[in-house]
Amino acid sequence: MIAVLEKPETRPITPLSPSGKILIFSAPSGSGKTTIVRHLLQNNPNLGFSVSACTRARRAHEQDGKDYYFLTLEEFRTKIAQQAFVEWEEVYANSFYGTLKSEIERIWAQGKHVIFDVEVHGGLNLKKYFGDQALAVFVTVPSLEILEARLRSRQTESEESLQKRIAKFQYELTFRDKFDAILLNENLEEALLKAQELVSEFVNK
């Protein structure tokens, strides 16, 4: 079981003052949330993407500050102590992900709403923090077999890593009812249309 590390002393001392809305898309790896979020960003100029911070190694095609803020373990722990995160979690041993307060403030300063592509627990922590100011969407696939096929097609995972992600999917699936909406990504075009509908309704209400 993967525990969510929610230590009271790591929460920001001064809450952010919302000047825009928060759109949270969370899903087990391989569910297609990144594709959905990219589509929403391309078609909604009033959205700004929140870049997460992490401690994992940067992949060859990734750029620091665009895909993630790549931090060392020591740098990440320092920012936890500085209360620089809205939320953070240790996804695997010594593998941290988190949302920097400065990143949300950067997007709001541009007059945009913030959209997140985050882990399931990270999404729930964001929803808890922002409450009604946020829409939390859980993206899922019809079956475990489909998820495994998608992960294998990436050819970026070792067998050990793949099995960890499959086990994590089964665990994270138990949290889907805690989200505001569940988006089934069986047919991508239909999922994109539904995602746009959810976003438009929430932003315009």
The mean predicted confidence, pLDDT, of the chain is 86
- Whose CA is closest to 91, among 164, 172, 1, 2? 2
Angstrom distance (rounded) from CA 180 to CA 111: 24
Alpha-carbon dihedral sign for residues 101, 104, 110, 111: negative
Higher pLDDT, 136 or 4: 136
Residues of the chain with pLDDT > 70, as a percent, come to 87
Q: Are 90 and 4 in contact (CB under 8 A)?
A: no
- pLDDT higher than 90, residue 145: no
Which pLDDT band, with edges at 50, 70 and 90, does 18 fall under?
low
Higher pLDDT, 169 or 7: 169
In angstroms, the first-to-last Cα distance of the chain is 38
- pLDDT higher than 50, residue 30: yes
- pLDDT higher than 80, residue 122: yes
- pLDDT higher than 80, residue 147: no
The DSSP 8-state label assigned to residue 184 in this structure reads E
Where is average pLDDT lowest: 26-35, 44-53, 151-160, 164-173?
151-160
Higher pLDDT, 112 or 9: 112
| The pLDDT value given to residue 1 | 35
- Whose CA is closest to 31, among 194, 183, 134? 183
Which pLDDT band, with edges at 50, 70 and 90, does 10 fall under?
very low
pTM to 2 decimal places: 0.80
- pLDDT higher than 60, residue 49: yes
Which pLDDT band, with edges at 50, 70 and 90, does 71 fall under?
very high
Bridge partners (DSSP) of residue 182 are: 138
pLDDT (mean) for 82-92: 90
Which pLDDT band, with edges at 50, 70 and 90, does 9 fall under?
very low
| The pLDDT value given to residue 156 | 64
Which pLDDT band, with edges at 50, 70 and 90, does 160 fall under?
confident
